[in-house]
C-alpha cells in the first residue's frame, strides 16, 4: 500500500482495541514467574514457586498423568479423524455416489451446525451403547463430531489436485485405489498435516465432552483437571498457580501453532466456528 | 495407428459418453465413505433423531432412561386424593397385612434381626397372618428373646408386612391383580386409573412444548439469546473483525502479523484457560477491579456482580474469540480487491475514509453476509464459555437458550435432570439451525460448490 496516509494514529487505535488481550496474555506469562503483593498488579519479585507443581504432586495433584491422558485423547482423535476424513473426502470429491449433492449439502450443514446442540442425544446414544463414562465413548464422539469438518477440508484439498494426474494413473492400468494411495495422497499431504494438527489441538483443548460424557472416568484430562483446580476453594484462588498450570497446558498448543502457523491460518480461514 | 485401435477408442469414447449421461455408481466410493457414514449416523443422525423423540417425553432422572415400573407410593395416593380419590379407597389400598412366611423371614434375616428371636417367631407364628400391625407387635413382645427397645420391635414387625405400597411391579396386570386382592371394594375404574398413574417410566407427551410456549421464562430466554447473538455478532465478529481487517490491511507487514497473531490467541487457547484468564481479568482482586479501585471507580466482581457488567463480560469474552474469525475472512476478501482500484482512488485524491467507504465496504457485502449467517448459527448454540464463566448469572439474567437446554438436561444442581424438556429445547435449536443452514446454502449458491466430480470411471 502507498504511504500517503498517516499510519501512526491507526496503530494507536489498534493497540487500544487489542489492549485487553495483550494485558491478559502478558500477565499470564508474567504471573507464572513473579509474585505481586495482594491488591497490586505489578510484580515485586521473581520466583519459580508457581511451577513447583511440575515435580511436587502435593501441590495440585499429578499433572503429568492428566497430561498423558490429554495426549491419548488428542492422538486418538487424529487416528479417527484423519484416515476417515481423507477416505471420505476423496469419495465425495472424485467418485460418483448416489445422493452426492444431498450428502455434500448434509456435510456442509453439519460442518456449519454446532454439534453441541446434539449433546443430549449423544448422551443417550452413549447410555444405550454402554459407552457412557468411558474415554472410548468421548473419543468416538469427539472424532465423529469433527468428521464433517475434516471431510469438507479434505474435499477442498482433493478438488485442488489436477485430475490429469489421476487420469494418467488410470490410463496406465493402475486401479483406482492404487492411484489414490500412490498418486493422490502425496498431493494432499499439506491437508493431512493441517488436519492432524487441527485434530490434535481440538482434542487437546476439549473440555465439555470429557466432563459431561465421562464424569466418572479415571482418565482425567488436563482441561477437566485445571477447571476442577479453579473450582476447588481450598487454594484460595491462587491465580498465579492456575496460570502456571494453564501455561503448562497451553505449551503444546503454542508450539504447534508456531510451527504450523501458516497452514493453520488457511484451515482456520476455511471455517471453524466460535 | 491401426484400424482396430481406432475402433477401440471409438467404442471407449462412446461408452464414456453414455457414462456421462447416466454415471455408474462407484462401489469404491461407497466403501471409502462407509466408515464416515457409520460414525456420523451413530453420533450425528441418531442423536438428532433421539432428541426429536425424547422431546416428546417426560424423561428425567426420576423416570429413568430404561423401561419404567408400576409403583403406588404414599405420595402418589396423596396426589390422587387431591384429584378425587375417596379416603375410603385410599385407606383400603394403603392397608397393611401381616403374614409370617418364608419371604418375610428372609427379609428379616437380611435386615440383621437376632437369629434366635427369628427362629422363635418362625416356630410360633409360621403360616399365620394378622390384620393389625399393633396386635402383631404385641404378640412379638411376648416372646422370650424379644428385644427390649420398642423401635427394634416395630422394625422387626415391618419385615413381615406386605402392602401394595412401595412394591415395584414390572407390568400393569400384576399391580392390578394385587390391588384387586388388597382392596376388593375399590371399583375397577379407580384401580385402572391408579395403575395408570403409578407408572414410573417416561411417557409420550407434548407437555414440554406446552410448557415452553406458555411459561414466562421462555420470553426472557429468547430475549437474552437475541441480545447475546446480536451484540456479539454486531460488535465483535462483524464490527471489530471488519475494523481489524481494514486497519491491518493498511499497516506495515510486521505490525500486521503481530496483531493478527495476537488476535488468534483467544481462538487457539484451550477454553478452560481462557475462562480462567477472564476470571483473573474481571473478578474481585483481578485486573480491572484493581485498576478501577486505584482510579476511584466502583470495584467489584464484574463477571457476576451486576447485570450490566456480566453482560459486557460475557459478550466480550465470546467476541474476542469470534473477532478473529471475521478478521481472517475479511482479510482474505480484502486481499482479493484489485489494487488498481485503490491506487486509482488515491490518484483522484480520495482520503482513507472515502476509500474504505466507497471502494472497500461495497465489495465486502458477501463476506459480511457470510460471517453473519455462519456465526449466527454457532452463537445460537454455543454455551461452553458462558457455562464456564458467568454460568448465566447473576441470577438467570445472562442465561441463553442453549445454556438453559444444557443445564436442564445434563448439568443442574438439584440432581433431577429433565432430559425430555432439555431435548425439547435442543430440538428447537436444531430446527432453527437447520432452517438457517438451508437459507444460507441457498444464499451462497451451494450448487457451485457441489459441481459434478471431474471423472467418473
pLDDT, tens digit (0-9, with 9 covering 90-100), for B240-255: 999 999 888 888 888 8
pLDDT value of residue B361: 86
pLDDT value of residue A232: 66
pLDDT value of residue A267: 60
How many angstroms separate the CA of residue B369 from the nearest CA in chain A?
A: 14
- Percent of chain B at pLDDT exceeding 70: 91
Contact B65 A242 (CB under 8 A): no
B324 interaction partners in chain A (CB closer than 8 Å)? 268, 274
Task: List the grid coordinates of B228.
Answer: 447475546
pLDDT value of residue B424: 92
pLDDT value of residue A95: 82
pLDDT, tens digit (0-9, with 9 covering 90-100), for B45-55: 899 999 898 88
Confidence band, pLDDT 50/70/90 cuts, at residue B6 = very low
Contact A124 B50 (CB under 8 A): yes
pTM recorded for the entire structure: 0.80
Contact B446 A144 (CB under 8 A): no
Strand, helix or coil for residue B202: coil
pLDDT value of residue B454: 53
A100 interaction partners in chain B (CB closer than 8 Å)? 450, 453
Among B253, B377, B382, B369, which residue's Cα sits nearest to residue B321? B382
Q: Which of A104-108, B64-68, B74-78, B282-286 has the lowest mean pLDDT?
A: B64-68
Contact A97 B426 (CB under 8 A): no
A93 interaction partners in chain B (CB closer than 8 Å)? 453
Do residues A94 and B23 lie in contact, with contact meaning Cβ atoms separated by under 8 Å?
no
pLDDT, tens digit (0-9, with 9 covering 90-100), for B148-198: 777 777 777 777 777 777 777 777 887 887 777 777 777 878 888 887 777
pLDDT value of residue A200: 92
Contact A124 B47 (CB under 8 A): yes
pLDDT value of residue B448: 59
pLDDT value of residue B71: 78
Distance CA A196, CA B14 (A): 43
Kindly state the average pLDDT of the residues B72-96. 78
Of A147, A167, A246, the CB nearest to B276: A246
Residue of chain B with shortest Cα separation from A7: B251
Kindly state the average pLDDT of the residues B19-26. 59
Kindly state the average pLDDT of the residues B332-345. 84
Do residues A44 and A37 lie in contact, with contact meaning Cβ atoms separated by under 8 Å?
yes
Residue of chain A with shortest Cα separation from B271: A205
pLDDT value of residue B227: 94
How many angstroms separate the CA of residue B234 from the nearest CA in chain A?
A: 14
pLDDT value of residue B102: 76
Residue of chain B with shortest Cα separation from A198: B268
Confidence band, pLDDT 50/70/90 cuts, at residue B1 = very low
End-to-end CA distance of chain A: give it in Å, rounded. Answer: 31
Q: Which ranges of chain A have pLDDT less than 50?
A: 1-2, 234, 270-274
Of B262, B273, B406, the CB nearest to A18: B262
ipTM for this prediction? 0.88
Residue B160 host element (H or E): none
Kindly state the average pLDDT of the residues B108-123. 79
Contact A91 B29 (CB under 8 A): yes
Q: Which of A220-234, A259-273, B328-342, B423-437 has the lowest mean pLDDT?
A: A259-273
Helices (H) and strands (E) in chain B, counts: 26, 3
A251 interaction partners in chain B (CB closer than 8 Å)? none
Amino acid at each position: 500500500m502507498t504511504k500517503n496516509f498517516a499510519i501512526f494514529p491507526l496503530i494507536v487505535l489498534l493497540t487500544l482495541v487489542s489492549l485487553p488481550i495483550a494485558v491478559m496474555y502478558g500477565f499470564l506469562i508474567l504471573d507464572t514467574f513473579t509474585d505481586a503483593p495482594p491488591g497490586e498488579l505489578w510484580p515485586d519479585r521473581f520466583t519459580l514457586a508457581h511451577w513447583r507443581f511440575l515435580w511436587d504432586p502435593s501441590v495440585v495433584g499429578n499433572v503429568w498423568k492428566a497430561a498423558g491422558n490429554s495426549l491419548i485423547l488428542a492422538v486418538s482423535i487424529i487416528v479417527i479423524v484423519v484416515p476417515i476424513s481423507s477416505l471420505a473426502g476423496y469419495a465425495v470429491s472424485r467418485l460418483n455416489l448416489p445422493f452426492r449433492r444431498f450428502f455434500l449439502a448434509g456435510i456442509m450443514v453439519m460442518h456449519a451446525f454446532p454439534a453441541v446442540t446434539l449433546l443430549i442425544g449423544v448422551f443417550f446414544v452413549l447410555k444405550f451403547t454402554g459407552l457412557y463414562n468411558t474415554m472410548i465413548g468421548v473419543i468416538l464422539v469427539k472424532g465423529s463430531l469433527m468428521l464433517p469438518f475434516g471431510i469438507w477440508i479434505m474435499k477442498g484439498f482433493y478438488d485442488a489436485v489436477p485430475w490429469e494426474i489421476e487420469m494418467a494413473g488410470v490410463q496406465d492400468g493402475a486401479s483406482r485405489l492404487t492411484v489414490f494411495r500412490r498418486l493422490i495422497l502425496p498431493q494432499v499431504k499439506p491437508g493431512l498435516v493441517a488436519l492432524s494438527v487441527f485434530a490434535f489441538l481440538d482434542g487437546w483443548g476439549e473440555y465439555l465432552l470429557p466432563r459431561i460424557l465421562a464424569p466418572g472416568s479415571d482418565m482425567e484430562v488436563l482441561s477437566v483437571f485445571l477447571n476442577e483446580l479453579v473450582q476447588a476453594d481450598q487454594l484460595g484462588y491462587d491465580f498465579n498457580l492456575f496460570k502456571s498450570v494453564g501455561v503448562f497446558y497451553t505449551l503444546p498448543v503454542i508450539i504447534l501453532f508456531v510451527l504450523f502457523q501458516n497452514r493453520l491460518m488457511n484451515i482456520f480461514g476455511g471455517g471453524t466456528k466460535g | 495407428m491401426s484400424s482396430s485401435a481406432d475402433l477401440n477408442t471409438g467404442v471407449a469414447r462412446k461408452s464414456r459418453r453414455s457414462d456421462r449421461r447416466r454415471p455408474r455408481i462407484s462401489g469404491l466410493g461407497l466403501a471409502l465413505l462407509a466408515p464416515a457414514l457409520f460414525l456420523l449416523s451413530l453420533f450425528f443422525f441418531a442423536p438428532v433423531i433421539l432428541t426429536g423423540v425424547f422431546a416428546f417425553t417426560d424423561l428425567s432422572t426420576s423416570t429413568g432412561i430404561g423401561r419404567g415400573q408400576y409403583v403406588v407410593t404414599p405420595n402418589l395416593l396423596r396426589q390422587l386424593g387431591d384429584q378425587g380419590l375417596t379416603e375410603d379407597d385410599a385407606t383400603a389400598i394403603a392397608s397393611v397385612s401381616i403374614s409370617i412366611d418364608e419371604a418375610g423371614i428372609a427379609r428379616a434375616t437380611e435386615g440383621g434381626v437376632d437369629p434366635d428371636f427369628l427362629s422363635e417367631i418362625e416356630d410360633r407364628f409360621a403360616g399365620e397372618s394378622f390384620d393389625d400391625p399393633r396386635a402383631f407387635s404385641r404378640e412379638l413382645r411376648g416372646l422370650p428373646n424379644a428385644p427390649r427397645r420398642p423401635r427394634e420391635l416395630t422394625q422387626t414387625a415391618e419385615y413381615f408386612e406386605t402392602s401394595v405400597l412401595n412394591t415395584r411391579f414390572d407390568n400393569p396386570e400384576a399391580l392390578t391383580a394385587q390391588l384387586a386382592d388388597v382392596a376388593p371394594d375399590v371399583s375397577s375404574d379407580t384401580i385402572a386409573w391408579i395403575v395408570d398413574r403409578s407408572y414410573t417410566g417416561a411417557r409420550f407427551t407434548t407437555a414440554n412444548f406446552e410448557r415452553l410456549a406458555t411459561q414466562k421464562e421462555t420470553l426472557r430466554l429468547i430475549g437474552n439469546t437475541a441480545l447475546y447473538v446480536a451484540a456479539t455478532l454486531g460488535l465483535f465478529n462483524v464490527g471489530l473483525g471488519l475494523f481489524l481487517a481494514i486497519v491491518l490491511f493498511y499497516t506495515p507487514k510486521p505490525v500486521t502479523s503481530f496483531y493478527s497473531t495476537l488476535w488468534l490467541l483467544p481462538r487457539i487457547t484451550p477454553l478452560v484457560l481462557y475462562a480462567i484468564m477472564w476470571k483473573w481479568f474481571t473478578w474481585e482482586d483481578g485486573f480491572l477491579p484493581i485498576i478501577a479501585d486505584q482510579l476511584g471507580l466502583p470495584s467489584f466482581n464484574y463477571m457476576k456482580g451486576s447485570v450490566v457488567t456480566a453482560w459486557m463480560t460475557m459478550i466480550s469474552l465470546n467476541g474476542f474469540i469470534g473477532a478473529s474469525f471475521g478478521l481472517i475472512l475479511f482479510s482474505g476478501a480484502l486481499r482479493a480487491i484489485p489494487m488498481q482500484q485503490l491506487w486509482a482512488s488515491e490518484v483522484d485524491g480520495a482520503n482513507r475514509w472515502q476509500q474504505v467507504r466507497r471502494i472497500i465496504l461495497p465489495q465486502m457485502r458477501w463476506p459480511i453476509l457470510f460471517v453473519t449467517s455462519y456465526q449466527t448459527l454457532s452463537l445460537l448454540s454455543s454455551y461452553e464459555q458462558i457455562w464456564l464463566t458467568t454460568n448465566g448469572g447473576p441470577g438467570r439474567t445472562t442465561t441463553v437458550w442453549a445454556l438453559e437446554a444444557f443445564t436442564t438436561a445434563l448439568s443442574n444442581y438439584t440432581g433431577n435432570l429433565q432430559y425430555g424438556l432439555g431435548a425439547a429445547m435442543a430440538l428447537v435449536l436444531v430446527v432453527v439451525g437447520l432452517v438457517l443452514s438451508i437459507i444460507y446454502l441457498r444464499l451462497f449458491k451451494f450448487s457451485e460448490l457441489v459441481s459434478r466430480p471431474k471423472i467418473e470411471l
